[in-house]
Structure 1
Amino acid sequence: MTEVATSDQLLVVIDPVARRTDGEAVRIAKDVLSAGATTKVCLPEGPEEFARALQRKGSRRPVVIGDDRALVRTVSLLHRWRELAGCGLSVVPVGGAQSLARSLGVPAGAVAAARAVLDGAERRMDLLVDESDGVVLGALRIPPLTGVPEDAAEADRHGADLDSARPWIRTCQSLVRTLVTARPTRSLSQTSVPGHSRLRVEVDGITLVDLDQPLEALSVTPGDSGLAEVEARPLSVGAEATPLLATGRRITVSGPDFRYRADAVVSGPVRRRTWTVWEGAWGLTLPVAAAGDHSLG
Structure 2
Amino acid sequence: MSAHDQLLVIIDPVARRSDGESVRIAKDVLSAGAEAKICLPDDVEEFARALARRGSRRPVVLGDDRALLRAVTLLHRERETVGGTLSLVPIGAPDRVATAHALGVPPGTVAASRAVLDGTVRRLDLLVDDSDGVVLDHLDVPAARALAAGPDVAPAPAGVWGTCRSLVRTLVRPAPTALADRTHRLRVEADGVLLTDLDTPVTGLTARALAGTLSLTLLPAGSPPVHTTARTLTVAGPDFRYRADTTVSGPVRWRTWTVRAGAWGLTVPREGGRDAS
- TM-score if structure 1 supplies the norm length? 0.82
Distance 1:210 1:155, change over 3 A: closer
- Extract structure 1 runs of 4+ deviating beyond 3 A: 4-7, 151-156, 173-182
Measure how far apart 1:194 and its partner are.
2.1
Report the equivalent of 1:150. 150
d(CA) in 2 for partners of 1:179, 1:292: 43
Aligned ranges 1:70-219 → 2 under 5 Å: 70-96=67-93, 97-147=96-146, 148-151=148-151, 155=155, 193-219=180-206
The letter for the 2-side match of 1:140 is L
Partner Cα separation in structure 2 for residue 152 and residue 277 of structure 1: 24
CA distance in 1: counterparts of 2:243 and 2:219, whole angstroms: 16
Q: Is the 8 A contact 2:153 2:249 kept in 1?
A: no
Please tell me whether the aligned partners of residues 124 and 276 of structure 2 are also in contact (alpha carbons under 8 angstroms).
Answer: no
Report the CA distance between 1:207 and its aligned residue.
Answer: 1.2
Q: Deviations over 1:135-162 (max 9, x none)?
A: 0001000232445233476859xx9xxx
Provide the secondary structure at the position in 2 that maps to 1:108.
Answer: coil
1:122 counterpart SS class: strand
- Structure 2 unpaired stretches of 5+: 170-174
- For residues 121 and 202 of structure 1, do their structure 2 counterparts lie closer, same or farther at Cα, with a shift above 3 Å needed? same
Alignment correspondent of 1:69: 66
Determine the structure 2 residue equivalent to 1:282: 264
Amino acid at match of 2:132: D
Normalising by structure 2, we get a TM-score of: 0.88
Distance 2:162 2:195 in 1: 42
Q: Deviations over 1:99-149 (max 9, x none)?
A: 110110110010010011111100111111011100000100023244523
Tell whether 2:5 aligns with 1:23: no
Task: Give the aligned partner of residue 163 of structure 1.
Answer: none
From 53, 58, 61, the counterpart of 1:56: 53
**1:121/1:257 CA distance change after superposition, 3 Å:** same
Work out which of the residue numbers 8, 11, 28 in structure 2 matches 1:11.
Answer: 8
Pair 1:9–1:144, CA change in 2 (3 A): same
- Tell me, yes or no, if structure 1 residue 272 matches structure 2 residue 254: yes
Counterpart position of 1:38: 35
Q: Which runs of 5+ in 1 are unaligned?
A: 160-172
Letter in 2 for 1:251: L
Q: Which deviations, in whole Å up to 9, do the C-alpha atoms of 1:80-114 show, x marking residues without a partner?
A: 11111221000000013011101101100100100
- Paired residue total: 268
Alpha-carbon distance in 2 for matches of 1:56, 1:33: 20
> Does residue 243 in structure 1 map to residue 225 in structure 2?
yes
SS at match of 2:182: coil
Mapped partners of 2:43, 2:92: distance in 1: 16
Residues 226-277 of structure 1: per-residue CA shift (max 9 Å, x gap):
21111111112xxxx3210111111000111111000111001111100011
* Structure 1 residues 6 and 278: CA distance shift in structure 2, 3 A: farther
Across the aligned residues of Structure 1 and Structure 2, the Cα RMSD in angstroms comes to 2.8
Whether the 8 Å CA contact 1:123–1:291 is kept in 2: the answer is no
Measure how far apart 1:215 and its partner are. Answer: 1.1
Cα 1:175–1:87 shift into 2, 3 Å: closer
Q: Secondary structure at the match of 2:7?
A: strand
> SS of the residue aligned with 1:24?
helix
User: How far apart are residue 212 of structure 1 and its match?
Assistant: 2.2
Q: Structure 1 vs Structure 2: percent identity of aligned residues?
A: 55
Q: Deviations over 1:135-194 (max 9, x none)?
A: 0001000232445233476859xx9xxxxxxxxxxxxx9899559967xxx999xxx932
The corresponding residue for 2:172 is none
The residue aligned with 1:229 is 215
For 1:118 and 1:176, locate their aligned partners in 2 and report how far apart those are by CA, in whole Å. Answer: 49
User: In the alignment, residue 130 of structure 1 is paired with which amino acid?
Assistant: D
Aligned residue for 2:181, secondary structure, equals coil
